[in-house]
């Protein structure tokens, strides 16, 4: 008798450029798991309805991306501690009883990419986090757990940075600042968690904000290096990269939660980077 293949999906809006189906299908091949993983365009207004439909049809797990992570947190019946602290869910597991369990693998994904793939040890670094929205919220706790020497959140709207700093103050000390207040201060690691890259913009960083030989990491990614990755290169960063590695690492953690087996991430990160490079080269030939 043929057993039905376990169903997984990513929900988000927009979703047409999502790399998640590709990544999870590669993980499944690599680990010999039989799953089907699709992408569905789900705006926030349809999320609850689509989530119920997916669960009723026997779906086993979901990845949630922009703009659904906060809503996924609200709709989960049970949540992991890390999802609760982030107030955001990017990985849903659906139990036999159709209970929705929400987790958040973004923080782990970022840390694995930074520490294992890029060899950056956060302990004792001066760290600057740009942005105080949903993307920042998911990574503050894991960053603080690494015990940086100093951590600053800079945001266009100071209020939001101050609120976040307060919220996580029990885990470690964070200072909140506006961008112009960064003049004269310098950092070893700058993480861009603003949504500026999505519109090709760059947060207004004063010259000298990056220490010589420091590292820049953009949580966003695109077909081309983001404005922030380019800024890092111009500013003399030793490493200036976008969030492709984090995307693959957070997916690997989700795959582990669902299937109990940890896929290798290196081959997929290399594959995605090589594909991107070849697309870029094709573009310049035209
Ligand atoms: P996300 O869930 O992607 O974090 P969000 O919650 O809307 O999205 O937060 C977007 C973040 O990017 C905010 O910190 C926003 O700054 P404000 O709080 O001042 O709005 C920041 N942001 C967006 N565009 C920006 C730009 N062009 N320059 C600097 N910061 C920007």
Give 187's strand partners.
210
- Cβ(228)–Cβ(192) below 8 Å: yes
Which member of 19, 69, 163, 223 is catalytic?
A: 69
For residue 263, pLDDT beyond 50: yes
Mean pLDDT over each residue of the chain, to the nearest integer: 95
Residue pLDDT, tens place only, 115-170: 999 999 999 999 999 999 989 999 999 999 999 999 999 999 999 999 999 999 99
Give residue 286's pLDDT: 38
Q: Whose CA is nearest to atom 11 of ligand 1?
A: 194
Position 2 confidence tier, pLDDT thresholds 50, 70, 90: low
Give the model confidence (pLDDT) of 218-235 as tens digits: 999 988 999 999 999 999
Sequential DSSP letters for the chain: -PPPPEEEEEEESS-TT--HHHHHHHHHHHHT--EEEEEEE--GGGHHHHHHHHHHTT--EEEE-TT-HHHHHHH-SEE-HHHHHHT--SEEEE-TT--EEEE--HHHHHHHIIIIIS----TT-EEEEE--SHHHHTTHHHHHHT--SEEEEE-SSHHHHHHHHHHTTTTS--EEE-GGGGTT--EEEEEE-SSGGGGT----PPTT-EEEEEEEEES---SS--HHHHHHHHTT-SEEE-THHHHHHHHHHHHHHHHS-----HHHHHHHHHHHHHHHHHHHH-
In the numeric block, which tokens belong to residue 9?
A: 């999906």
Burial letters for 145-182: b for 16+ Cβ neighbours within 10 Å, e otherwise? ebebebbbbbbeebebbbebbeebeeebebebbebeeb
Q: What is the DSSP string of 67-108?
A: T-HHHHHHH-SEE-HHHHHHT--SEEEE-TT--EEEE--HHH
**Residue located nearest, by CA, to atom 28 of ligand 1:** 203
pLDDT confidence band for 284 (50 / 70 / 90): low
CA–centroid distance, 102 to ligand 1, in Å, is 24
* Ligand 1 pocket list (CB less than 6 A): 131-135, 155-157, 160, 194-196, 201, 203
Domains contained in the chain, CATH given: 6-104+246-274 (3.40.50.10860), 107-242 (3.40.50.720)
50 Cα: distance to centroid of ligand 1 (angstroms): 27
Say how many Å lie between the CA of residue 3 and the centre of ligand 1. Answer: 45
Is residue 87 part of the annotated active site? The answer reads: no
pLDDT of residue 231: 97
pLDDT tens-digit series, residues 169-211 = 999 999 999 999 999 999 999 999 999 988 899 999 999 999 9
Q: Is the pTM value of this prediction over 0.75?
A: yes
Return the residue whose CA atom lies nearest to atom 9 of ligand 1: 133
Which ligand 1 atom sits closest to the C-alpha of 69?
2
Q: What average pLDDT does range 40-69 have in this prediction?
A: 97
């Amino acid at each position: 008798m043929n057993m039905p293949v376990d169903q997984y999906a990513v929900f988000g809006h927009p979703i047409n450029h999502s790399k998640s189906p590709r990544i999870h299908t590669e993980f499944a091949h690599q680990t010999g798991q039989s799953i089907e993983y699709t992408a569905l365009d789900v705006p926030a207004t349809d999320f609850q309805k689509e989530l119920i439909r997916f669960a009723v049809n026997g779906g086993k797990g979901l990845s949630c991306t922009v703009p659904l992570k906060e809503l996924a947190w609200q709709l989960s019946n049970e949540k992991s501690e890390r999802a609760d602290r982030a107030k955001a869910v990017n990985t849903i597991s659906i139990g036999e009883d159709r209970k929705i369990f929400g987790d958040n693998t973004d923080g782990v994904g970022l840390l694995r990419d930074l520490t294992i793939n890029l060899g950056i040890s956060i302990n004792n670094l001066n760290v600057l986090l740009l942005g105080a929205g949903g993307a920042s919220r998911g990574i503050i706790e894991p960053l603080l757990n690494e015990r940086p020497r100093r951590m600053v959140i800079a945001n266009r709207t100071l209020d939001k940075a101050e609120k976040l700093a307060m919220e996580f103050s029990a885990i470690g000390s964070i200072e909140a600042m506006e961008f112009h207040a960064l003049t004269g201060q310098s950092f070893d690691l700058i993480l861009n968690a603003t949504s500026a890259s999505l519109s090709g913009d760059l947060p207004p960083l004063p010259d000298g904000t990056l220490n010589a030989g420091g590292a820049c990491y953009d949580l966003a990614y695109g077909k081309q290096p983001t404005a922030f990755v380019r800024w890092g290169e111009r500013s003399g960063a030793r490493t200036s990269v976008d969030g492709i590695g984090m995307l693959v690492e957070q997916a690997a953690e989700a795959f582990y939660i669902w299937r109990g087996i940890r896929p290798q991430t290196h081959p997929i990160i290399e594959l995605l980077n090589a594909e991107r490079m070849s697309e870029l080269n094709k573009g310049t030939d035209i």
